[in-house]
Structure 1
Amino acid sequence: MLLNSQPIVAIATAPGRGGIGVVRVSGPHLGPFIFKLLGKNLTPRHAHYLPFHDENAVAIDHGIALYFQNPNSYTGEDILELQGHGGPAVMQQLLRRCLAVGTEFDLRLADPGEFTQRAFLNNKIDLAQAEAVADLIDATSEAAARAAASSLSGIFSERINLLATSIVQLRLLVEATLDFPEEEIEFLEKYQARSKLNSIRLDLDQIIAQSRQGLVLREGLHVVLAGEPNVGKSSLLNALAGEDLAIVTDIAGTTRDKVTQIIHIEGVPITIIDTAGLRDTSDLIESIGISRSWNEIKKADVILHLMDATKPTSHLDDKIDSTRSRQSIVLSVMNKIDLLDKTATLPKEAIGISARTGLGLNHLKKKLLEIAGWNPGQESPWLARQRHVDALEQARMHLSLAHEHAAESDRVLDLFAEELRLAHDALGNITGRMTPDDLLGEIFSRFCIGK
């Protein structure tokens, strides 16, 4: 992907009202633009308090102007930040003024994520760090924010680069030996290639395990509460959320549309969706809600099939099973166990709870974490994405094949070397060294504008 040197501008703070708002400009040489916009030159990395004027020399606002000279800036280009009061009207006026002054400098509005994309293309950060910027902004728990900040600092990239270096060193030995066929037979023993490969594989296994934890911390679970009317779905949502989000009554069909809430269990985000009770109905509005319930069931990671423990019979098992995706997991949950006689027993696979008293909720939460793949007490040192885990798994596959070739004979060293190369390329996809342009476009298009 070629770096577009055209200067760009955007509001860098979130939409809406705030005490402070920031308009950010980035480009290769902003000196002339800054002088025309502000009427003075700025000292790099010094805060300048001054008025921001419109085209009629009327002050739009008074604020702070900061100039970061390339290459010592976020993007690696010159950056100007105008910090004013965070009202939408003020920010829009500042943005329009920048665009008007910047016409002769070919200034344009930034695309989503373009500031961070330029930081990546100018080698200020690698691709994993760039993704961590968005993950830090989107983090919904302290644990996720800590992990994203670690990724942004380069901890994850450092582990990947160290592993890649080890693979390259082994590749160099192998490929050098290929030039001297008479030495191939002794290569694996002489240079301890097998033990070096095993060490690399063990290191990769550890990184994969930690990355899976980071993936869970980022993506969590999509959980749908499903069941017939009055089995306690809304009560369970309220109990898990710790507040009254859904209306709870004894009247069947109270919930007519989905209610969504994100909760955190040990830092892991769990999206809980309460749905309309599943039954046959002639009520048009309720039937629309029920249709939406089935649509949510199709998309769920986990379906909590709630039943009333005092009336455990349900006719939904087969229909839920046929509707869900092949990847989703169905848990049978018996609610209202506080109303059961002490001698009563539950079906073997069912989880017994009382949404009213909280009985059994901790067991249910632990089960959800288990399904998510979360290991309590082993918080990931970084945040990961599915593409990271996929690339790591691909590297593991190639290293496994290299191990098989090493076990066969020294006479397949060319295949051994090829698998090492492919494993190295897979790791390069994580940091961006081997990433195709179309994937870069997809990644940065999901960023917010101004970042």
Structure 2
Amino acid sequence: MYVKDTIAAISTAIGEGGIGIIRVSGPEAIEIVNKIFRSIRGKSLLEVDSYTAHYGHIVDSTEEIIDEVITLVMKSPKTYTTEDIVEINCHGGMVPLRKVLDLILKEGARLADPGEFTKRAFLNGRIDLAQAEAIIDLIRSQTETGLRVAMNQLEGGLSQKVGEIRQDLIKLLAHLEATIDFPEDEIEDFNSDELSDRIDGIAKKVEKLLRTSQKGKILKEGIETAIIGRPNVGKSSLLNALLREKRAIVTEIPGTTRDIIEEVINIDGIPVKIIDTAGIRDTEDIVEKIGVERSEEFLNRADLVLLVLDAHQGITAEDRKLMGSIKEKDAVIIANKLDLDSKLDFTEIEEILTDKPIVKTAAVENQGIDELEDVISNLVFSGEIKNEDQTLITNMRHKNALDRAYQMLLDVKKTFELDLPNDFITIDLRAALEAVGEITGDTIGEDIIDQIFADFCLGK
């Protein structure tokens, strides 16, 4: 077991709250907290059972009461880190939390590094690296679908699939190396068809996981969506309708929105980062001009574009210019203000933007919004079933490792087709095995591990 010194940190978010928690983990966790904790019943924490809660006070060296607390004692090995853990539930203000933490540090604990509690859980073998990274995804999940994907990974869904690939590689590699190292034992070698089938089978499993990476990236990071259009076509009204609240100012005066408004909404489990941009037009107003320039920047980087047209006014030269700028992008055309008389030429829109979906809305009246959400969902997932399999590649590090493993397997195929000795095949198989092992942490350097856990918040 990996156990060094005893660490401590505030595990709840900074700010005022009903409860604040200080977590202590390590071989001296119970002893250190016992020095500053006074149970109402006079119990010593050194004598209590595991998984018990104790009411009392935290006191300083003069026995002055610092805070009224409930202390939870959890003994090794059945804890988050597999070490002794004590969690002190204080009142949620930063002053009592910091004073209690200072006392713990004075008694011999060390301030934990970011993610060090989870890092100890990994180093002590309670979870693997993929499960540890899922904890970050769990904390940062923005939708229920993202939450389910993170929970699947935390519970070992991805680790199991990666483990199956590793076992296939290990068995194949072991057999090949045995034929090389012990030729006198007359170990049966693979025939060409059998070896090719084994390699193809492993490659297909890797490829299947890789195919989930785009969906996983969207569910984890969201899809950046820019609402664009000339001034006063109803962009801000559309944002308000999607948010189901009046977030953006709406007036009949063109150019009201001069800065970027960004919000995240949940559309069918997809975190959609909606950006309401300033109306794009030629203008001499310095402030509005800056807003237009920012809008054009967001248009260029957006994953998805919602182009809003004013159905009542019909297509203008500025609309045609905007339509021309989004031909190569994923986009939805929104014919807005259809509660008024429409003058839009839909044939012209379809000629300029072939195959781009068109949704008819009256944003102020919340008409057509559900249909727009369905179109966005279908466009993002290209009609795929969204929740058929919760084991997705959501982490770029995992994707890169699988990409390298897949390439190594393709190299194995080439080596095999060139009829080279098994020694050459085993080199690429070892490289593929090492790449796959990086996902769960079986084959990874300490510097990479440190970098991964540095992204965690303090106290986790």
Taking structure 1 as the reference length, the TM-score comes to 0.87
Structure 1 residue aligned with 2:32: 33
Shift of 1:49: 1.6
Letter in 2 for 1:312: I
Superposition map of 1:100-249 within 5 A: 100=106, 102=107, 105=108, 107-179=109-181, 187-189=189-191, 192-249=194-251
Task: Give 1:446's match in structure 2, choosing from 451, 455, 459.
Answer: 455
Q: Find the aligned partners of 2:245 and 2:343 in 1 and give their Cα distance.
A: 29
The offset of 1:277, in angstroms, is 1.3
Equivalence for 2:292: 290
Q: Specify the alignment match of 1:313 in structure 2.
A: 316
- Aligned partners of 2:398 and 2:439 also within 8 Å: yes
The Cα shift of 1:171 comes to 0.7
Instruction: Please give the secondary structure, in 2, of the residue aligned with 1:188.
Output: coil
Give the drift of 1:185. Answer: 13
Residue 333 (structure 2) pairs with residue 333 (structure 1): yes
Secondary structure, in 3 states, of the residue corresponding to 2:209? helix
Say which of 60, 66, 77 aligns to 1:54: 60
C-alpha change, 1:379 and 1:249, in structure 2 (3 Å) is farther
Give the 3-state SS of the residue equivalent to 1:192 in structure 2.
helix
Q: 1:313 to 1:196 in 2, by over 3 A?
A: same
Structure 2 residue 426 is the aligned partner of structure 1 residue 417: yes
Question: Residue 376 and residue 355 in structure 1: after superposition, are their counterparts in 2 closer, same or farther (change >3 A)?
Answer: farther
Does 1:14 pair with 2:21?
A: no
Tell me: CA distance 1:371–1:314, structure 2 relative to 1, closer, same or farther (3 Å). Answer: farther
Aligned pair in 2 of structure 1 residues 130, 28: CA closer, same or farther (>3 Å)?
same
Instruction: Give, as a single letter, the amino acid of the residue that structure 2 aligns with 1:335.
Output: A
1:167 to partner: Cα distance: 0.7
Q: Quick check: 2:314–2:345 contact (8 Å CA) kept in 1?
A: no
Mapped partners of 2:407, 2:137: distance in 1:
28
Show structure 1 runs of 5+ residues with no match: none
Task: Give the direction of change, closer, same or farther, for the CA distance of 1:329–1:181 in structure 2 (3 Å limit).
Answer: farther
SS of the residue aligned with 1:187? coil
Shift in Å at residue 342 of structure 1?
A: 9.0
Corresponding residue SS for 1:5 = coil
TM-superposition CA deviations, 1:101-124 (whole Å, max 9, x none): x2xx2x332222121122222222
Computed over aligned residues only, the root mean square deviation of the Cα atoms, in angstroms, reads 3.2
- How many angstroms does 1:60 deviate by? 2.4
Q: Distance in 2 between matches of 1:390 and 1:372?
A: 22
Which residue type is aligned with residue 85 of structure 1? H
Match for residue 370 of structure 1? 379
Cα gap change, 1:188/1:290 in structure 2, threshold over 3 Å: closer, same or farther? same
Maintained 8 Å contact 1:150/1:382:
yes
User: Which of these residues, 390, 394, 403, is aligned with residue 400 of structure 2?
Assistant: 390
Distance 1:288 1:190 in 2: 65
What is the alpha-carbon distance in structure 1 between the residues aligned to residue 29 and residue 382 of structure 2? 49
* Corresponding letter in the other structure for 2:89: Q
| CA distance in 2 between partners of 1:268 and 1:129 (Å) | 22
Counterparts of 2:238 and 2:370, CA distance in 1: 9
Deviation track 1:235-264 (CA, whole Å, cap 9, x = no partner) reads: 222222222221222211111211111111
Question: Using the alignment, how far apart are the partners of 1:278 and 1:55 within structure 2?
Answer: 66
Equivalent residues, number: 441
Q: CA deviation at 1:366?
A: 3.0
Amino acid aligned to 2:404: Q
Structure 1 residues 370, 394: closer, same or farther in 2, change over 3 A?
Answer: farther
Decide whether the 8 Å contact of 1:210 with 1:380 is kept in 2: no
Is the contact between residue 227 and residue 277 of structure 1 (CA under 8 Å) also seen in structure 2?
Answer: yes
Per-residue deviation, 1:448:
1.4
Distance 1:211 1:290, change over 3 A: closer
Residue type of the alignment partner of 1:87: G
Judging changes above 3 Å, is the alpha-carbon distance between structure 1 residues 281 and 343 closer, same or farther for their aligned structure 2 residues?
closer
**CA offset digits 1:75-99 (Å, max 9, x no partner):** 2332211012323333223222222
Maintained 8 Å contact 2:314/2:344: no
Residue identity in the other structure for 1:311: G
Alignment partner, residue 41 of structure 2:
none
CA contact (8 A) 1:66 1:80 kept: yes
- 1:71, 1:222 → 2: CA distance? 44
SS at match of 1:421: helix
Change (3 A) 1:220 1:314: farther
Matched, 1:98 2:101: no
Matches within 5 A, 1:401-440: 401-409=411-419, 411-440=420-449
Structure 1's 433 and 313: CA in aligned 2 closer, same or farther, altered over 3 A?
Answer: farther
The code of the aligned residue for 1:74 comes to Y
Give the TM-score normalised by the residue count of structure 2. 0.85
Shift of 1:204: 2.3
TM-superposition CA deviations, 1:157-213 (whole Å, max 9, x none):
121112101111001111222336799998332892222222222322333334543
| Identical amino acids, percent of aligned pairs | 37
Query: Which structure 2 residues correspond to residues 252-271 of structure 1 after superposition, within 5 A?
Result: 252-271=254-273
* Range moving further from structure 2, 372-381 or 51-60: 372-381
CA contact (8 A) 1:231 1:335 kept: no
